[in-house]
């Protein structure tokens, strides 16, 4: 089976930084796109950033210039570096991976989530 395990969440003051990591493990042939989503209380889950296996990235407008996504294809890991954090960044952050376990099928996997809290 496949597991995505996130780490790096926590409590930080506004203006501070956090680094989230996500490691995918299990029976994985290749990982296509890796993404970070977040969900704040009472709000829908939203895309924060994504990165393809070739390194192309995209970001939500709200985090552009503050967050950076990167990945290590050899280690099946993705990192979200979050700088200049704001209270509105407070949410549970989820790692997501679109991956292939065989050449015949692409599946979508989620991590368990990690809490990020930014105090004002």
Reported as a single tens digit per residue, the pLDDT across 51-65 is 999 999 999 999 999
Q: Do 39 and 92 form a contact (C-beta atoms < 8 A)?
A: yes
pLDDT band with cut points at 50, 70 and 90 for residue 1: confident
d(CA 73, CA 55): 10
**Predicted confidence (pLDDT) at residue 10 exceeds the cutoff of 90:** yes
pLDDT tens per residue, range 14-30: 999 999 999 999 999 99
Largest pairwise CA distance in the chain = 48
| pLDDT of 49 above 90 | yes
Mean pLDDT of all residues belonging to the chain = 96
Q: Which residues of 19-58 are buried (b: 16+ CB within 10 A; e: fewer)?
A: ebbbbbeeebeebebbbbbbeeeeeeeeebbbbeeeeeee
């Amino acid at each position: 089976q496949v597991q995505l395990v996130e780490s790096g969440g926590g409590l930080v003051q506004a203006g501070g930084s956090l680094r989230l990591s996500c490691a995918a493990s299990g029976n994985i042939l290749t990982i296509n796109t890796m993404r970070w989503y977040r969900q704040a209380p009472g709000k829908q889950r939203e895309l924060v950033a994504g990165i393809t296996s070739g390194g192309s990235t995209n970001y939500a407008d709200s985090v552009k210039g503050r967050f950076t996504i990167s990945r290590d294809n050899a280690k099946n890991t993705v990192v979200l570096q979050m700088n200049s954090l704001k209270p509105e960044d407070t949410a549970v952050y989820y790692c997501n991976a679109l991956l292939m376990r065989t050449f015949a099928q692409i599946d979508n996997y989620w991590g368990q989530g990690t809490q990020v809290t930014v105090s004002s």
